[in-house]
Structure 1
Amino acid sequence: METVQQANWLKEAVNFFVDLYPIKRQRDLNAIYREVTLLLQKYAHAQAAAIIRLEDSITARVLYASDNYISGFINATVIDEVVSIYEIRIANGALITKAPDDILVLIPVKEKAFTGVFALFIDKGTDVNDAFRQFLQHVWTGLKETAMLIQTYYSIEELSTRFNAILGTIPESIVFIDDSGRQGWLNGPAARLLHLNEDNNAPMAIAAAMQQLRNDAVNREDILKEAGQLFSSPNRSIKNWEWLFGTPVELALSVSCVPVRSTNISGRLWVFDDITEIYKANDMLKELNTELVEKRRIADEQNKAKSDFLANMSHEIRTPMNGVIGMASILANTQLTEEQADYVETIRISGETLLSIINDILDFSKIESGKMELEAQPLNIRTAIEETYDLLAMKAGEKGIDLLYYIDPMVPAEIHGDMVRLKQILMNLVSNGLKFTERGEVLVNVTSISNEQDDHILQFSVKDTGIGIPQDKFYKLFDTFSQVDSSTTRKFGGTGLGLAICRRLVALMGGTIKAESTVGVGSTFTFTISAKASRMAINYTARDKTNEQKLTGKRVLVLDDNITNLKIMQAQCELWHMLPLTTYSFDEAEAALRSTPFDLVMVDMLMPGKDGVEVARILKREYPQLPIILFSSAGYLPLDAAEMKELFAVVLHKPAKQAQIERAFIEALNMRSPVARTGAEPIPTSPTRTQNDTAQVKILVAEDNDINQKMIMRALEKLGYTADLAENGKIAVELLHSTRYQLIFMDVMMPEMDGYQATRIIRDMYGDRSDRPVIIATTANALTGDREKIFENGMDDYIPKPFKMQDIKNKIDEWTPKLPQLQ
């Protein structure tokens, strides 16, 4: 017998289904319980198995167990939870009262009259891999059908008992007629079926009686057609040939006819098997299946109604939230006292927290309803990580936690995938790491674990140095609406949906996700995705080559107390063909400077003993011309601007992008004398816009909600723009007949005429003219694929609600160079 490790689980699943089929013809419930359980134990290579019926949430009854000791370990509460979630549960013995040294697998089944689990006790050495899990999923399908059969037998138990008694006392009817027509015989049941005397074996009498039997059948036309084919060749045979009698059917026969050939006799053997009860049971099953199909149709309609409801709720919730967050952003840019500014910031943070919770719920609903579709556009993995870190940098800075990442050189620069959803996974995992980490670091590591031409399996690991997760809580991690600590006194909040959404998104990307953790040390969440490398990626531009030449061969000394950061900087500098020396010891760094000429030094700000400022002061006294780069996560530096210029060539704030570090190195190397610049200083990307510039843009706002009208009009006013207001799409179209606009902010849901219809009319009005206005949709619907619908209806761009004043400014700045010119 194959060992568990050698088992071909697909083959075992097929064998299970093959052997399950005859069990379904069983008429004894206890036999079904026993044989299905033993069959499951056999093909799962389990040490023991049981079928357990859940009587209520606290009572479970073992219907059959392969070993008697199993009964003492059953936990009804756990079974109730598994049945409620309706998901296969695999865990160690912690799920049972007195855990054996095994792995416990609970496979739920749930029908009207039968609810419970099939339990498997697997040897702890079993590799619970993807193949085994697929085996369980396949087996689950058969067990669901078995549960349905059990339910059917509950309802027809009396009929089934009578049927079994009949089959137990009356054998099949058997008739033989030779080809010559001289011999024939029949048994007692056949005589009674054909209304003949058992002693009357005359072939002509038997043939006439069988002819009469065929004529009495309600499906005689089908029987005659099959008979024509049967008798067309002496060697033809037929089995499971149904002869039906009565309307509704009172008698159903399964007829078999096979040729019999011997030296002296040739003829045909007929076997009539009374399958009336089976036929009726199958009829009931057909009715049950019809009922199930109808219930599924109703469930689908209910799911659609739920999706529509969630879409409407998304709009109804986001619309007022747009006012809350938008007005808070406007208010924050007015003259406020310190107390008032604190209140405004509290409103903003609370609003965005609520929005995050709503987004989790809506995303989960979108995935559950099958409406989540991933894009396949070229995306840069480094950009995805860096943009995620940009959003979390403030939170990390407040806690003094380093945000680090390392991308293996074998990982393609760009892949085809969904940037938004990849960032969503990273955002959830990294923000969880920050939430549960008080000091240390969060590290994202990306490697390619498999690749074939352009097809890669990429592995992302998010490692923190936080509080860790107890082993007995691991089973809760990826469950929906579940948290490791769900008590009323829990320290950390949340919906319990984040990791569940991550698991579903990773699955949509063709991968898996898992977690490893040690309490007090930290946790690592690892997920994989299947991705195709993008051939559109340009890895080395002319500027990149120039930068690489500037850095090649340069000696850099990196001083940091974070070992992980030192390893990353070592690898990165080597990729730039630099000669790095990394150390966490100031004494070692000082000794290295005395023995080796370095081109520049990078020091961390927060270090035990001497911080970055103290180190720089010491080094500048001995090496005044040596450029020093400060790597800071502290935000505030305890020195004035003059001293900063004197000490540091560049100040980088963590987390710094790879391109920022490269620019900092080149800038420091180019400096003959240190000139300070901090990573916090904004770099202008466009000329400053004057009041006259903004006034020249003709803007129309189409919005029906009073609060949102006030919010967007005040935001535009604060930004220096003037705009006209239309309360619905119809008024917007009318205004365009008298006034020429360059830019329209168009709400998609408005009375009388919505934004989609208004946009189509405007597009028809202007056709291909170059002076047609740019239309930017404002939408509060985050569930039903508005993005695709927006572009399908001719809109140029969109802003999802709720949005802030900065979002409006960014959109206007982005589109201003492309706006039509008014004569």
Structure 2
Amino acid sequence: MFEKINALPKVAIAILLGLLGGFANLLPLWFLDSSEFLLGQLFVILALMSLGWRYALLCVAIGAAFIFYRWGHCWPSMVFLLEIAWLQVFCVRPNKPLFMRGLAFWVLFGVPLLFLFGKFALDLNLLVIMTALAKYFINAAICLVIVDLLSLFLFKQLWQAKPLYRILNYMISHLIILVVLVTTIMLTNSHYERIEYEVRAQLSDVANTTAQRIDSFLGNHRRALADAAYNIERGLDKQQTITRLVESYPNIRTAITAEQSGLVTHFYPDTLRTSLAGEVPAVSDRQYFIQAPYYPGGFVSGIFRGRGFGDDSIVAISAPIYQQGEFDGIVEGSVFFNTFEQFIPRVLSHMGHLMILDSNNKVVFSSLKSDFNTLDEINDATLDTLTNDNQNLYIGKTEEVFYRRSVRSEQFGWQVISLIERKYVNMAVASAWGQSFFLALFIIALSSVLVSKLTRMLINPMHDLSSRLNSFDPASRNDDLSPKEEATFLEVITLQQQFTQLAFKLSMSFKKLQKANQENQSLNAQLTNFNAQLETQVQEKTEELIDALDRANKASSAKSLFLANMSHEIRTPLNGIIGMTADMQRNTLDQSTAESLQIIYQSAHNLLLILNDILDYSKIEAGALELDKQDVAFHKVLHALTTSFCKTGVKQGVSFSSDVDASVPEYLLLDELRITQIINNLLSNAGKFTEQGSIKLNARYINGALHIAIIDTGVGIAKEKQKLLFGEFIQADVSTTRKYGGTGLGLTICKRLVEAMGGSIEVESASGQGSTFSVIIPAEPGEAQHEEKQQVNAPNLRGVNVLLVEDNPINQIVAAKLMDHTGCSLTKANDGLDALALLKGNNIPLVLMDCQMPNMDGFDCTRRIRQNPDLYGTPYIVAITANAFNEDRVKCLQVGMDDFVSKPIEPDALYQCLLRWQG
């Protein structure tokens, strides 16, 4: 108890302690970045020990008011209240020290309760919660250890009749714990400040480097435009000048020249002129035209959205043209940027963010897509938070906190802002603090052992003297206890002897340490030699890995080439089979012939599906599969699938039913092709392996995810074979392939597609008892689409000359029959050379171009046509090819083709393409 202040009313003392605790809670004592210590609990525990639990509750209430004033809530006070109750029951009443029993409360109840408060009441992220929990645990440890240390002087009854060994051991150990904890906190906070400094320095370096690159980039291109204007003034041809300009500077996408009235006279590339068809080619309203006369060295505009040649975001650089001292027009180049991603900062092994603003504070580039996009105009308030040197933090729209540094380029005034999320700094410091914490625990444990030994060495002489005194027999002679002058210093003599022995032991320890140090140096030399050998071995292994990687890349390229050739060679005859069969089916036939044609048509389509499975698996295996999410009318898609399955996939004697729950939205945001492929594969498997009984399809929508279950009463799958079911080229039994057919890729593709869409697929089955395949795919509700797909009829091309470039006679016949329905005038060419000859001097507005042909393929032929429009015209070129990879489509468009239709040719796809040309 506080004996000296017993005269003061206890309530006044409790209020005083509560106020002291409240102000202690307001002290700016930080742990890491923003978690403050609440050392006011120290005064609450002192009130508990000195005044009793009722007055301690009053202190808790006062401290809670200060916490609420600081944070806007006082959830921790509830845990502090429970801590007082725990200490009252387990420490104060039994008159026990607080530290270990108090920490037990925090381990069992305090930390879990605060975790629940942070997670569910305050909705904090996990890193913040874990930091706060560590802070509260350390906070409790510091308060408890300080009270225990003070108790030796303030609450002496707690240590009455206790062994001196226990008191010394307890107090010294607690003092070490306090020193280690405080030192760890100080070092951790110092480490945090150092990492913050390094992060800011790295962000500044990135911003400065990027700003310098921007100035250099824009300066070089501005000089290039000024040189072009000078060359034109000297009499060089304008078209040649801008052509050479674009070819010399890849980042200049388009270039024009305009006369003094603003009318555009020359374009590059020439397709820019085509894209401006129907518009007056004038730029007099553009800033780069208006400002050019005032900037003889070249004018650089802010970023804006281009027109006439795509809608990319560009920066225009212009220079004035003078003739005889008079303004005669401008030369302008549109510059686009595609290399800023390389400047995005990487700090603490994490990718940061980069923003670039032009001189008008418009966003040129932003990797922080949640807050800013290209062409966004930054208002003054937001710009101040991003660029004010007095603020180092930026809080995004998603409440994420970023460190940020900004630099304005010296030459053009563009603003470069580099950012990194603060949570990465917290994670790095938390990791370092975790290591320090465990090291501190080790030091505390080791210190406790050493302190225990030390206190025993100090107390043992007293125990020895006590034992000798207890065994003294007055009847016997004992020289050691005879009344001599030195007898009073027997304890000191004993301690000196112990010290002498300790000194001897310490000397031996140092000798051992010296010997161990020599051995350590020897080991270090061996380690250095080993490291040198290891470096050589690592270099050899690295060279082997590089060689292995090169061989693997070559093998992958060979496989891709093989798949492309296989696709082309199989699709070419399939085009003939499917095309001719479809054409014959349009005629009136007897039932037997119609059924035979349907078998041929269906068999060819089955072969096409197998080919597509192989190609899909190749894409998935190469990681090249891309999803195309759109608003899908899921009910209609499911209805079409089940209707088709009922007609072609259900065997006689098997019933089929579908149940789509009302919870499934009418429209879902999905990849229609892939969800159709997944459901169709699973239904096909169910139909294939179910000889009798039933097949059911159930669809539900639960918690933002589409749940699909396909249940059959088929042959089932043994438990030991289910784990192999989703492997490549795997079926439940080898005999399955012989009996039912299939590539063994269907379920593999299903699993990969489902996982690519963020979902999961499972199977429940037993041999002879049927199977249930369950698919869960996350899907947000979509928006209704007003455009309905309609039957595509053949367009009317009467009087239109069409050139078919195709080397395969069968494909010529198929394409010719499809084009007959359009009424066009069709001319055939066997290769690219024949096509060029037919295009000379003839008005042919539409060309159907195969890609792989002898003598000259479709790619070279298209390049020749586009390079010589005066000779061959500017026909609309549609690629019709058996190459089905996406990269083949991209290549066709890159060489100048306008559209793409794959073989086997589907009439609707071809007619839709022709309608796009007409439109």
Q: Tell me the TM-score normalized by structure 1.
A: 0.44
Higher relative contact order, structure no. (Cα contacts within 8 Å, ≥ 6 residues apart): 1
Which protein is richer in strand relative to its size?
Answer: 1
Greater C-alpha radius of gyration: 2
User: TM-score, normalization: structure 2?
Assistant: 0.39
Larger helix share, 1 or 2: 2
